[in-house]
Structure 1
């Protein structure tokens, strides 16, 4: 049975646009096409689509999914087992919540007055976090599991907000210092795991309740990101001439939102010991080169200056989730890509 893209979208709950995107990035290409060029999906495509949809629900980025699908040791039965385990966990959480609500109901019926608003806010936070992280992952993130660390973050958010309210520019020296402090703490309090950081970004972007509770909204994040970017630009300055520096200033940060998922995907490939000549790793290397060139340009002489900057200025890696080990892992793939 062959399905047109509209039929597949309707039957799976996906959008046609999503399926088009999966095709354009090589994640899910249809097995056939009509003479007019329309996409046709068959039974064999469903295995791959199920994997993609399941891995998305596990919180993986599209780059991480591409890397996972490139592995030969990822049977569909294993993915289904993980889905069942996730649903079991959700059922257990729902049962636990029901029990707590019954206790609350009994207290209310006895005329007791628990601090309902705070209690419900806590449950809301727990529910939001459970959508993005397992309990084991939460334990790896002190900013979500350690009260003292949470208080540190509240104080840091207050300091950033005060600087913003005072009218400081994100490129000011005070803002740069706070931006660097923010990112260094973020690396520390997510166990230096870029995959957790990428999902944390997603949670804050998609959950207004989390933004309201933490005070970390889109405006504050733009300020912090801009301040951290300005601090990196300043570190590059001694290595570049005026024209190179002007190009960096004009373009640095334009595509910064693409880096977290890419770094997480490279870390996942490295942890999985995927060979550097694997097609998935080569694809990551091409994306890395493209993002690097977006602010460094394509002149080999200028690019060499950026590499020298990283060799001589260790602060450039602070707060970036990029490690020397990751750079060394990706280097052979980058070398191959450079020859294409």
Structure 2
């Protein structure tokens, strides 16, 4: 909104006396970033008529006129034609606060895009200052990755996906994390080592956070990495590195379970516990979707997912009720068992409530 309190006085009304809070057409055009011709056109079509005219014939605009001009310009940015803008603004229930909120959202997206572009330009500038030739392949890879995101996520989903938003600090953390794990692999350090297990746990917690704790986003990010060579090349997450992290995380969980299970139970877990990772992620995503949609634990769709949940659980743990009870105790007592699984306490409670409606083993 324009500030009239410090504006220069202008000639108004028939007697040409100086009064505040009125702007001539040229001054309004200059301060609002529009052309005089546009304001004349808005007057002719009845979209924005000045509230007064000077004796000399100059159009004069007051605060209400400027507010309407703001609305007109905001709606034009959203792609509405002038004829439709007039209809919208003439409706008595039009809420300008909502229009401003949408403008703010649009500006935030533009700021994020501008920040990403700035980061790329700073990188290019540094390369040029050092006399280095910019890496064309890296630029092309970046452009390909931006297009790849559009193939896996809607625009609304991308707004909620932290991975898509430019964040130099987060990107730096991922770069260092990938480099540290790659160094362990190159040095022949086994995935069961303490360093690998620590980094794998940190990796999965970061990944869960950067996919907005949404398992469906995580599945699609995985598909993007597998299906888009440019994504793998830019981020450096090879299939071998990914498997190393999975193996290290599995070993970390087995070591926690070792405090609760006997040798035979642990051996079965080691042999069968990691065989259904993709099925688990698909199932967790489906449960998350039902919870997000407000489904009740006793709904038939939720009960079907609960049956599948327990069936998968038994494939890894067996059918011994004593073993299942010990594993439940471990899960309830050890938060690290759920780290990076996209399962939280709320989801566990939801599944257990659904199991109770089925009278299933708990």
The number of residue pairs the alignment matches comes to 228
Secondary structure at the counterpart of residue 204 of structure 1? helix
Equivalents in 2 of 1:212, 1:225: separation in Å? 20
* Residues 70-109 of structure 1: pairs in structure 2 closer than 5 A: none
SS in 1 for 2:258: helix
Using a 3 Å threshold, how does the CA distance of structure 1 residues 142 and 148 change in structure 2: closer, same or farther?
farther
Contact 1:143–1:153 (Cα < 8 Å) also in 2: no
Does structure 1 residue 133 correspond to structure 2 residue 139? Answer: no
Q: Structure 1: which 5+ runs fail to align?
A: 1-112
Please point out which of 242, 250, 268 is paired with 1:247. 268
State the match for 2:178 in structure 1: 157
CA–CA distance in structure 2, aligned partners of residues 162 and 154 of structure 1:
12
Residues 85-139 of structure 1: CA deviation (Å, up to 9, x unaligned): xxxxxxxxxxxxxxxxxxxxxxxxxxxx997544322210111111111233333
- Contact 2:197-2:251 at 8 Å conserved across structures: yes
Task: With the length of structure 1 as denominator, give the TM-score of the two structures.
Answer: 0.63
CA contact (8 A) 1:142 1:150 kept: no
Give 1:287's aligned residue: 308
Partner of 1:215: 236
Q: Which runs of 5+ in 2 are unaligned?
A: 1-132
CA contact (8 A) 1:262 1:284 kept: yes
Residue number among 218, 225, 229 corresponding to 1:197 in the alignment = 218
Q: Which residue of 2 aligns with 1:296?
A: 317
Cα 1:213/1:160, change in 2 over 3 Å: same
Give the secondary-structure state (helix, strand or coil) at the position aligned to 1:254.
coil
Instruction: Report the Cα distance in structure 1 between the residues aligned to 2:338 and 2:300, rounded to whole angstroms.
Output: 27
CA-atom RMSD in angstroms: 2.0
Aligned residue number for residue 124 of structure 1 = 144
The structure that is helix-richer by fraction is: 1
1:318 and 2:336 equivalent?
Answer: no
Contact preservation (8 Å) 1:142, 1:149: no
In the TM superposition, residue 338 of structure 1 has moved relative to its aligned partner by: 5.2
Cα drift, residue 265 of structure 1: 0.8
1:269 counterpart = 2:264: no
